[in-house]
Amino acid sequence: MPLEQSIRDTVRTYCTKDLPGDIQWHIDQFSFIEDPELRKRLGRAYYSARYISKLMEALLADGDEIHAFVKFQIMQYASIYEAVISYLLWSRYKDHPEVKALQTHKAYKPVSALGSQTSMKYGDEAIFPCVYRDAKTPKNSIPFKDKVDCAVRIGFLDEAISGDIKRTYELRNLAHIETEAEKQIEVEITQSRASYWRLKPFLERIVATIKEDEAR
């Protein structure tokens, strides 16, 4: 059974009264995202993370009760950082030399350099002629930490907060129960707060960088 309407109204009021704005305000913080669907989902993720934080505060959650609230916030903020950085790298900065370098790796490519009747061996193993050349790295195969470092080199991410953003993402990826148990990981409220406090300078730096780029 749900709580009485008056209690529900009180909780909702508590959870929203100190937020800087409604969900549209949170969506507008991502105005530099030209994809409207992505912009809407980023804003909703930001709003829901803040709402859950206030709900945790309203309930005065303690001990193990905090775990679900903190874990949810870290997942939301990590997803926001990942989506924004990836979007910018492969939209606004897709032709930047740093992005091109990020997408390139060296790989061995077999070539038909010998006649069909020719074979070579190293011990009992066959040797095949190859060339060592540049190859394109699939976006999904690039580690997030490398994307963060690329964003720092381009200039739309401040190196001073890049470590905390990487840590937030690591905590999200280590959120599987088996991994948590094996590595004895405990997500803490200080980590979710750090994820929140880094978001404002993260967005401000992006907006400022874009303005500088457009003024050139």
Give the number of other Cβ atoms within 10 Å of residue 138's Cβ: 7
End-to-end CA distance of the chain: 60
User: Which 3 state secondary structure label does DSSP give 135?
Assistant: strand
39 has pLDDT over 70: yes
Side chain identity at residue 132, one-letter code: Y
Residue of 101 and 182 predicted with greater confidence: 101
When pLDDT is cut at 50, 70 and 90, the band that residue 153 belongs to is very high
Position 126 scores a pLDDT of 79
> Which pair of structure tokens corresponds to residue 17?
């009264």
Cα gap 44→139, rounded to integer Å: 25
Give the number of other Cβ atoms within 10 Å of residue 172's Cβ: 20
Are the C-beta atoms of residues 46 and 6 closer than 8 Å to each other?
A: no
Cα gap 145→177, rounded to integer Å: 23
Cα gap 89→208, rounded to integer Å: 16
Position 185 scores a pLDDT of 57
pTM, 2 dp:
0.85
Cα gap 117→95, rounded to integer Å: 45
Cα gap 189→98, rounded to integer Å: 35
Query: Each residue of 89-123: pLDDT tens digit?
Result: 999 999 999 999 999 767 777 777 666 666 777 88
Residue of 203 and 216 predicted with greater confidence: 203
Residue of 2 and 133 predicted with greater confidence: 2
Q: Which of 159, 195, 201 is nearest to 45 (CA)?
A: 195
Cα gap 83→199, rounded to integer Å: 13
Position 114 scores a pLDDT of 65
10 has pLDDT over 90: yes
Half-sphere exposure of 181 (CA within 13 A, CB side): 3
